A and B are shown apart, each in its own frame.
Chain A
Amino acid sequence: MTEEKELFACGHRACAGCSEPIAVRMILEEAGPNTIGTICTGCLEVVSTGWPETAWEIPLIHAAFENSASVASGVEVALRQLGRDDTHVIAFAGDGGTFDIGLQALSGMLERGHKILYVCLDNEAYMNTGIQRCSSTPLGTSTTTSPAGTYSIGEDRQKKPIGAICAAHCIPYTATATIAYPQDLKKKVRKALAVNGPSFLHVLVPCPTGWRFSSEETVELARLAVETGIFVLWELEGGNLQNIKVTKKPKTWRPVEDYLKQQGRYKHLFKPKKRQDVIEKIQQDVDQKLIELGITKET
């Protein structure tokens, strides 16, 4: 552990067990103080920038919800023009600010080739406004706008494959990460910051409030997501999905049910009646994805 000053200070107002500050701290530990950050409207902004305080020990700008990528584009070009381009630029955004309302700005930033690390902190819903569904919300998830009910299994669409969409822009580096694997995450940040162009890091950040699990289980949930294959840790250089490299494979793969049953957002799949059909569908989707990634499960 380093003795250096935390670049995302304690005293922020995130919920107990929130993994957004954990992820940000890990990323900034790797990036160091010579970094300018941009953030979106959303939980991260609300909990860290309440005037006259700030949790950020790096220069930071929050402008709006959908444009972390375009604000960062302006920062990056300005740094170059002003001869200060030894400074890293990291654009942070929630899943809403990335998958949905910010997708256009993100695509523009990737396509234009800015040297920016874009980090999507994915808690799989619009948490700041009260757990509404997003195109990042997985099938079967109950949210306030995709509630489970007599005629509803919760969210009825698949999670948008954001990593593949970003990689399809033929950017130098795309990766996924989560807070349960700090070394993996930090290594990816290091690689991303070293490339000469845009990079995209998709970080799964379990949310105790929105996923409804107990606040001490955050890291465990992140690990379970990986061990069940729900969230695969991988990296990719360039735009060819054939070249995806899986960076973490569990010793034994666990059934998705282990992950689902720990979270209130999937409670309806177990009670009052077990929805084996939905659980099986989720399992099949995971198995299919692993096959596509060339992973064979050892039994």
Chain B
Amino acid sequence: MTKMTIMGNMATALGAKLCRPHVIPAYPITPSTLFPEKISEFIANGEMDGEMIRVESEHSAMSAAIGASATGARVCTASASQGIALMHEMLFIASGMRLPIVMAVGNRALSAPINIWCDHQDTISERDVGWLQFYAEKNQEGLDLMILAFKICEDKRVLLPGMVGIDAFVLTHTVEGVDVPDQKLVDDFLPPYKPEKYLDARTPITFGSFGTPEFYQEFKYAQVKAMEESEKVIDEAFREYKKVFGRTYQKITPYRCEDADMVILTLGSMSGTARAAVDILREEGKKAGCIKMTVYRPFPGKELIDVSKNAKVIAVLDRDITPGLGGALYADVAAQFVNRTAHPVILNYILGLGGRDIVINDFKEIYDKSHQALEKGIQNPVEWINLNKEIL
């Protein structure tokens, strides 16, 4: 193990390097550009085998990733925002062909107006493409989740692609101390990728068939079953990771939730701020708790119900928006509880879009607003935090 002080992009790039990918098709985009730069550097200096494909677009990055993965290679890429949106078509095809490609993401807002800063719109908008989704709170998690993503996605029971999100700038460009595991340990944890079926002249098969109405639905069902199966595989991988590398991962990580009246659900780097805010609220005698969600797809519904069912209110924080509905995470959470006779009130807060800072006071406001809703009735289940009404 080596201790390094590095940016989030370096952490995901090092995580990727430790997994020994054969092919890395990638295209630069802020804030994840450092990833392809670092991989190029590793290869140029002979520190890494594998080959970069310096494609002419993200659409081609994902297309080349699909071609390489179907040929039997371990494949990794990185992107963000507009780049992921451009890949959209191919993301469905990667999962439909059951190719365990892993993508590092620097989570960034979508145009227009163009904005390079953090929110989760890019990956949240891809929640239906059939990829596993992981969100990191800090750089260490970015590195670890890259290794874990390969482990989980390549498992024969899963065979689906996965993306690992680290927040734009807050993580991608911020240096933090990171433990970089020894290559030997990673090699033991993640053996070489050996698919049963791949493009091979000795045993010709066709990938990407035409699926008529008699068959299409079964293809999709099998894919969904694999996603469900991944729930177990994720737990196994997290347990093994803890044993080998000593760091604990959970699909959701509750903090002071046991006796909490109100739990706040977060994704990504705001989770640390949430814990600090909970401590302050507790000092003020307010029974707050928070939950960090690390795995977003498959959605950890059972775990979420378990830790939050006794709360009076769940405040779901969305750094994304589904116009005309509210936050995407809010809809996901509400769906978990809807068929239960008694459940907490579920409130939604939209915040931090396009890189607006999320600070302790925002959590206090969320606590107060939620409390008020409990006392006086819900005025509006979807509230925007820190909206500057003067410039509207």
Instruction: List residues of chain A with CB under 8 Å of any chain B CB.
Output: 33-36, 38, 45-46, 49-52, 54, 56-64, 66-67, 69-82, 84, 87, 104-105, 107-108, 111-112
Contact = CB atoms under 8 A, between A and B. Distances in A.
A70 B209 contact: no
Given A51-B215, A77-B68, A70 B63 contact: yes
B348 to A, nearest CB: 35
Interface of B: 22-23, 25, 49-51, 53-57, 59-61, 63-73, 75, 89-90, 93, 97, 199-201, 203-212, 215
B60 A38 contact: no
B71 A82 contact: yes
A67 B61 CA distance: 10
Contacts of A63: 63, 66-67, 90, 93, 97, 208
A104 B27 CA distance: 14
Nearest to A62: B208
A81 B22 contact: yes
Contacts of B61: 70
Contacts of A77: 23, 25, 51, 53, 64, 68, 73
Contact of A74 (B56, B69, B208, B209): B69
A105 B68 contact: no
A73 B200 CA distance: 16
Contacts of A82: 22, 71-73
Contacts of A36: 71, 199, 201
Given A75-B70, A81-B23, A82-B22, A61 B60 contact: no
Contacts of A84: 200
Contacts, number: 161
B51 A80 contact: yes
Contact of B93 (A38, A46, A64, A111): A64
A78 B93 contact: no
Given A69-B60, A73-B64, 6 more contacts: A60-B207, A67-B63, A70-B67, A74-B71, A75-B67, A108-B60
Contact of B210 (A45, A64, A111, A112): A45
B199 A67 contact: no
11 contacts: A50-B212, A59-B200, A60-B207, A66-B59, A67-B60, A72-B67, A77-B53, A78-B71, A81-B73, A105-B59, A108-B60
Contacts of B70: 61, 74-75
Contacts of B55: 70, 73, 108, 112
Given A81-B50, A105-B59, A112-B54, A50 B209 contact: yes
A82 B72 CA distance: 8
Contact of A81 (B51, B59, B205): B51
A167 to B, nearest CB: 19
A85 B35 CA distance: 27
A25 B43 CA distance: 40
A51 B206 CA distance: 9
Given A70-B55, A104-B56, A78 B209 contact: no
B119 to A, nearest CB: 28
Contacts of B49: 81
Contacts of A59: 199-201, 203-207
Nearest to B219: A51
B212 A87 contact: no
Given A49-B206, A61-B208, A34 B201 contact: yes
A38 B67 contact: yes
B55 to A, nearest CB: 6
A78 B22 contact: yes
Contacts of B63: 63-64, 67, 70-71, 73-74, 105
A104 B212 CA distance: 30
Contacts of A34: 201
Central interface residue in A36, A59, A84, by most chain B CB within 10 Å: A59
A281 to B, nearest CB: 36
A58 B200 CA distance: 8
Contacts of B75: 74, 78
Contact of A112 (B53, B212, B215): B53
Given A63-B67, A73-B64, A81-B51, A46 B204 contact: no
Central interface residue in A51, A62, A108, by most chain B CB within 10 Å: A51
A52 B199 contact: no
B70 to A, nearest CB: 5
Contacts of B23: 74, 77-78, 81
B93 to A, nearest CB: 5
Contact of B67 (A54, A71, A104): A71
